[in-house]
Amino acid sequence: MTTDTIQLSKSPVTGKEYEIPAIKDDKAGIDAFVALHPGKKVVVVQGLGFVGSVMGLVVANALTEEYAVIGIDLPTPASYWKIRSINEGVFPVIASDPKIEIYYQNALKKNNYYATYDSHAYSKADVVVVDINLDVQKRSAKNKDLEGYNVDLTPFKKAIEAIGANCKEDVLVLVETTVPPGTAQKIVRPIMEEMLEKRGLATDKLKVGHSYERVMPGPKYIDSIQNFYRVFAGTDEKSADAVEEFLRTVIKTDEYPLTRLGNTNATEMAKVLENSFRAMNIAFMVEWSRFAEEAGVDIYEVVNAIRMRPTHKNIMLPGLGVGGYCLTKDPLLASWARMNLFGSEEKLGQSEKGVHINDKMPVYAFEYLQSQYNGPLEGKKVLLLGVSYLNDVGDTRYTPVEGFYDQLLEEGCEITLHDPHVKYWEEKDIWVNQDMGELLNSDYDVVVITTGHKDYRNNEDLLNKLVSKPSAFMYDTIGVWSKDEIKTLGEKHIVKVLGRGDL
């Protein structure tokens, strides 16, 4: 074997690089692991991403049953390190939730969480939990106008085929992936039955269900799986019963009762509807923020007044944009399913429009900067405070900061990044500074709040340091600065807040 055929997979957690094995065979490892746990049910979690790796942890720490858990992912540069990391004693997700480490140490002690890439694992499974990604391919213009999108089910179907090619005939396949409504019934179940038939196995013992997770990476990561309301359904009664039985062993259902819906179309729809609702509510505020700026109104003040009404507590605030893995694509998944899986001639037009509007927010935020900044931005030193898409977590997937950053770059700005939760910005392949003190030894022409981290809110030390700097343009795209802070900053700097009009 020559060196140029060796593929490497690097852990962003430890920096360690792993060689991906040329021969993909882990049967011995899997068999040895299962042999350690005689009589225990085997749960295979498919996908070791933000959801799957932690779901595996929760199942390994189930409440009322002892499971042997196998996490499975692909032996690719992007994923292979996760497999090795889990088996070597380093959990592959950095999170502020202390429970992650407690649960992981506990699993290590019990040696009941193994990771592999080998589909042989499915042959041992009593339950397969599907936690792989199902992506939407967006086509967007340079100005972020959404021009179209596509849902390619091929990788998802292949993953289901891998289960069907290896599993026992009475396996429970529990899909947790956010899928187009109709997927469990119209795609997963038919593939599984076809594969079983090909193998000469019965199809009447198969169980296929859907239950969606509501995982929030962050300080309550584990609780967002274990201590939270779950909605589930089966492709038939037997499947629903099996899902219920399994979920009762891992989730605190006495405090967070399960909700069983009539069919899997309903649970699949609930998930994308819930995210579309949120995406649409954010999109709704975009126009109103612009109107507020035009009318010299502080939209934050207005929204806070409206939130006094219990019926209006959930009205959203504006910001730099919408990011993350769900809100940016789920409305499109749903609209696609309506037309492609249920043959409707109508899309979910309003929900698609919401995605479109949200995608454009970073463009607007940049244009606002351009319109307010005195002179060209070319060559200016810009400090961006925040890279992740959500406050107080280190998740950069589809962060709106990217669109904003790209435009600054294109304009010829010299950009410095800070984020207390992001060491490495994977999508951009950039290392992010985490030491604010060091950063503030330099001077900047423009300082922008791009994520609403706690570290930037009510931080007197940060405020004092910013005030002590030479006159600059301060731009808050999130609304973290209070009126008093704006006043203090404004004595020395120019301060603009998106959605606050002229203050």
Chain residues binding a copy of itself by CB under 8 A are 181-182, 214, 229, 231, 259, 261-263, 265-267, 269-270, 273-274, 276-278, 280-281, 283-284, 287-288, 290-292, 294-298, 301-306, 308-309, 311-315, 334, 338, 342-344, 346, 348-351, 353, 357
Q: Give dist(CA 91, CA 398) in Å, integer.
A: 23
* Comparison of 30 and 497: residue with beta carbon closer to a copy of itself: 497
What six digits make up the tokens of 45? 């979690």
Contact (CB, 8 A) for 275 and 326:
yes
With H, G, I as helix, E, B as strand and everything else as coil, classify residue 34: helix
Whole-number Cα distances in Å, 3 to 8, 15, 19, 241: 11, 20, 11, 52
Task: Specify the DSSP class assigned to residue 433.
Answer: B
What six digits make up the tokens of 204? 């009447």
Tell me the H-state helices in 251-348.
Answer: 264-294, 299-306, 330-340
What six digits make up the tokens of 95? 């999170």
Taking the complex as a whole, the smallest distance from the CB of residue 263 to a copy of itself amounts, in Å, to 7
Residue 359 CA, chain-centre distance (Å), reads: 16
67-72, strands of its sheet edge to edge:
113-116, 67-72, 41-46, 127-130, 172-175, 207-212, 231-234, 259-260
Q: Give dist(CA 301, CA 484) in Å, integer.
A: 14
* Comparison of 362 and 499: residue with beta carbon closer to a copy of itself: 499
Contact (CB, 8 A) for 322 and 310:
no
* Residue whose structure tokens are 């509501």: 214
In sequence order, the β-bridge partners of residue 42 are: 68
Taking the complex as a whole, the smallest distance from the CB of residue 6 to a copy of itself amounts, in Å, to 47
Q: Within a 10 A sphere around the Cβ of 339, how many other Cβ atoms?
A: 14
* Comparison of 274 and 406: residue with beta carbon closer to a copy of itself: 274
Taking the complex as a whole, the smallest distance from the CB of residue 241 to a copy of itself amounts, in Å, to 18
* Comparison of 277 and 373: residue with beta carbon closer to a copy of itself: 277
Taking the complex as a whole, the smallest distance from the CB of residue 117 to a copy of itself amounts, in Å, to 35
* Comparison of 14 and 344: residue with beta carbon closer to a copy of itself: 344
Taking the complex as a whole, the smallest distance from the CB of residue 301 to a copy of itself amounts, in Å, to 6
* Comparison of 144 and 338: residue with beta carbon closer to a copy of itself: 338
Taking the complex as a whole, the smallest distance from the CB of residue 167 to a copy of itself amounts, in Å, to 28
Instruction: Tell the burial category of 247 from Cβ atoms under 10 Å away from its Cβ (0-12, 13-18, 19+).
Output: middle
Taking the complex as a whole, the smallest distance from the CB of residue 243 to a copy of itself amounts, in Å, to 14
Taking the complex as a whole, the smallest distance from the CB of residue 75 to a copy of itself amounts, in Å, to 37
Taking the complex as a whole, the smallest distance from the CB of residue 275 to a copy of itself amounts, in Å, to 10
Taking the complex as a whole, the smallest distance from the CB of residue 297 to a copy of itself amounts, in Å, to 4
For β-strands 17-19 and 41-46, DSSP reports them as unpaired
* Comparison of 201 and 302: residue with beta carbon closer to a copy of itself: 302
With H, G, I as helix, E, B as strand and everything else as coil, classify residue 26: coil
* Comparison of 216 and 401: residue with beta carbon closer to a copy of itself: 216
- On the CB side of 40, how many CA atoms lie within 13 Å of its CA? 23
* Comparison of 343 and 437: residue with beta carbon closer to a copy of itself: 343
Compute the 3-state secondary structure of the chain and give helix, strand, coil in percent, each to the nearest 5.
40, 15, 45
* Comparison of 23 and 295: residue with beta carbon closer to a copy of itself: 295
